[in-house]
Structure 1
């Protein structure tokens, strides 16, 4: 099952190479600890008076405790039960502390690192009791602190280390998941801004052209054809740009062509057909810009002009693009009468025909685009009338 058991890695969800690597490592570790126990048990008790020299039973317990480690990650509780039982029997028989304790150490660590804290603590407590049994059996009386601490350390220390590793691993997983969610949210916001800019601009232009056509149709039907032709052209261009945007989203290909400041002339012509005269002024030497900067500059100009078309009624607009070695500026001003407080576009504003209009997410989207690139953004009414939108986008200096 892909989800695995609670507190254990989802083994079936991992590549087979990863699933195989863990068991092979555990098998190698078990063999290494077993060999260490076989060759190190006798020397460990050689200098300790009053201990029983290791015999066949002692070496059997050492091997059993070591081989249990081969399944430590798949069956951590069973591994701990085997190693703790073997270690307890080894010590009850009177043998000295030796390499068998490393099997217990690793087993306790594994339970703490791979099982929920509650069940791990219960299992570690049971293992601690098993390890301390020999102190009561051998002495026949209640041992003092000096007799309990050495055995307890082989359980308490690996348990603390395992819990710490588990907590850190879970914190890392949470941070990774949070980062993934953040990136997904940022991507959704970027897509929403792109779709808003493309669809909003196209629909605003189509709306104004349709108003013109409806106005001309009863009196001068021959001139209404021009507006209808402009509607057809604008809708086709908006659909084409929307298809490109959605295709980029589906493919996840940021290398696809995107609009830029070089297309302002086409934008100007499209808006002229919708009844908004636009003047484009460029200062400085136009040059290739990073894709993100070029797109952001174009979207600021496009959304600003779309808002003029929506809110300003009969007006003209001017787009000023300034190039310097370290930045590019975009300023859009219009002559339309629009009330409102500085720094914020007004609430409901009358469109032609009496329908209310709101700015929606236009200014917020522009501000977020510019801020994401480390630039500056300002928008508000002009003292001489009309509205002004200004964006400064930093660019890496030319080498």
Structure 2
């Protein structure tokens, strides 16, 4: 089987060569038959020289794809020798025109044009000098022009096909890069969501579990409240994790109901967040200035996640501490500021700031053209400040719709 496949590949590779050989042989036979006719339509019994010149003027086209210019020169020289020997012009230069087409079709223009301009006028001049008729001259010009135009059109079409193939490859590569970039961005977004969900809720659960274990034998009411907080927090964490993981699933079947989740959290749920932090032993307050108003879903979730991650860092790095969340609404900007008064450890100046939490918050802020700063507070503790640009209240879709 391998031998058969190799033979088939060899035959397919030789197919153009075989076709060129057959065409050249057929045209050679036709030319010899024309020469063999009786005068004035032929030269009668051709001599060996005539046969050789006719053969050399046509048969080299069997190799026209391998050496176009050389074949064109050989065919033209053989036909010129045929005319110079004084033989009547009973055949047109079939071989020269086939070779001319091949040169125009397979060679670069900067190479083919000078060769054609050097050879074709010389052939035409030689035909006139050897007594060729004007009818034959006009036929020669027409045949040569048609051969060159067909070859030039083939060359142009081939070049265009090559350009289109290269463009298709470039577009395919660009599409692959864009797809890879989209996958990477989606992975980063999912990782950021998972970090925000897991870090905050597990911090609350850890603190509450430690509290419940500590007072389990002495204060059953406090232990019960801690366990209730753990149950509520874990349920919310599972729900948010299901929401994130649902993005990784394949699209549901048409008859499969879509899973239902609670709406994405926003600043309207900051009080719930503060209640969980208070239950974990961190006194927390909310201060709102300006006119509080609904926000678009994206900035709303961004602001909520920044508050959540900031309070999570208080639980992980600053206990014992208290925290205050400031929400300042301006017509075109929202400022979210989370400040704590905890004693930062020696590594807090670099640890939290350079960790994944604050890096994720900065990415969220940049996503909505906002900015985020974080660092040690002037009066002790740590401060995180988020600034998000907002559309004026009257330009919001909800306000416009209500009008």
Is TM > 0.5 for Structure 1 vs Structure 2?
yes
Q: Shorter-chain-normalised TM-score: which range?
A: 0.5 to 0.7
Q: Is the 8 A contact 1:85 1:130 kept in 2?
A: no
Matches within 5 A, 1:54-93: none
1:2-21 matches, within 5 Å, as none
Aligned CA distance change for structure 1 residues 81 and 150 (closer, same or farther; 3 Å): closer
Give unpaired runs (5+ residues) of structure 1: 1-75, 95-124, 349-357
Aligned partner of 1:116 in structure 2 is: none
The alignment covers a number of residue pairs equal to 281
Q: C-alpha displacement at 1:219, in angstroms?
A: 3.5
The aligned residue for residue 314 of structure 2 is: 308
**Matched position secondary structure for 2:189:** helix
Q: Secondary structure of 1:380's partner?
A: strand
Decide which of 65, 88, 96 is 1:127's aligned counterpart: 65
Q: Distance in 2 between matches of 1:365 and 1:262?
A: 22
Note the C-alpha offset of 1:81.
6.1
Mapped partners of 1:287, 1:329: distance in 2: 13
Kept in 1, the 8 Å contact 2:208–2:279? The answer is yes
- How far residue 307 of structure 1 moved from its aligned partner, in angstroms, is 0.6
Paired residue secondary structure (2:351): coil
Distance 1:149 1:287, change over 3 A: farther
Task: Note if contact 2:337-2:385 (Cα within 8 Å) is conserved in structure 1.
Answer: yes
Mean CA deviation greater in 76-85 or 362-371: 76-85
- Name the residue aligned to 2:324: 318
* Aligned mate of 1:136, from 74, 77, 84: 74
Give the superposed CA RMSD: 3.6
Give the one of 321, 331, 343 matched to 1:337.
Answer: 343
SS in 2 for 1:285: coil
Tell me the SS of whatever aligns to 1:279: strand
Equivalent-residue separation in structure 1 for 2:14 and 2:293 (angstroms)? 69
Tell me how far 1:77 sits from its aligned partner: 7.0
Alignment partners' CA distance in 1, 2:218 and 2:160: 87
Residue aligned with 1:377, SS: strand
Mark the CA change 1:184 to 1:84 in structure 2 (over 3 Å): closer, same or farther. Answer: farther
SS of alignment partner, residue 250 of structure 1: coil
Q: Compute the displacement of 1:251 (Å).
A: 6.5
Alignment of 1:1-399 (within 5 A): 127=65, 129=67, 133=71, 135-140=73-78, 151-156=102-107, 157-158=155-156, 159-250=158-249, 257-339=263-345, 345-347=349-351, 360-397=355-392, 398-399=394-395
Question: 2-side partners of 1:78 and 1:172: how far apart?
Answer: 33
CA apart distance, 1:392: 1.2
Structure-2 change in CA distance of 1:234 and 1:163 (3 Å): same
Shift in alpha-carbon separation, 1:186–1:133, aligned structure 2, 3 A: same
- The Cα offsets for residues 233-282 of structure 1, whole Å up to 9 and x where unpaired, read as 211221122222323443679x9731111111111112111112221122
- Provide structure 2 residue ranges, at least 5 long, that are not aligned to the other structure: 1-11, 32-62, 82-95, 108-154, 252-257, 396-403
User: Contact 1:378–1:390 at 8 Å: present in 2 too?
Assistant: yes
Q: What do the CA deviations read for 1:10-65 (whole angstroms, capped 9, x no partner)?
A: xxxxxxxxxxxxxxxxxxxxxxxxxxxxxxxxxxxxxxxxxxxxxxxxxxxxxxxx
Instruction: Confirm or deny: 8 A CA contact 1:312 1:336 kept in the other structure.
Output: yes
TM-score (structure 2 length as normaliser): 0.60
Which of 1 and 2 has greater Rg? 2
Taking structure 1 as reference, are residues 251 and 162 closer, same or farther at Cα in structure 2, changes over 3 Å only? closer
The alignment partner of 2:380 has SS state of coil
Are the aligned partners of 2:68 and 2:102 in contact in 1 as well (CA < 8 Å)? no
SS at match of 1:333: strand
> Counterparts of 2:80 and 2:204 in 1: how far apart (Å)?
92
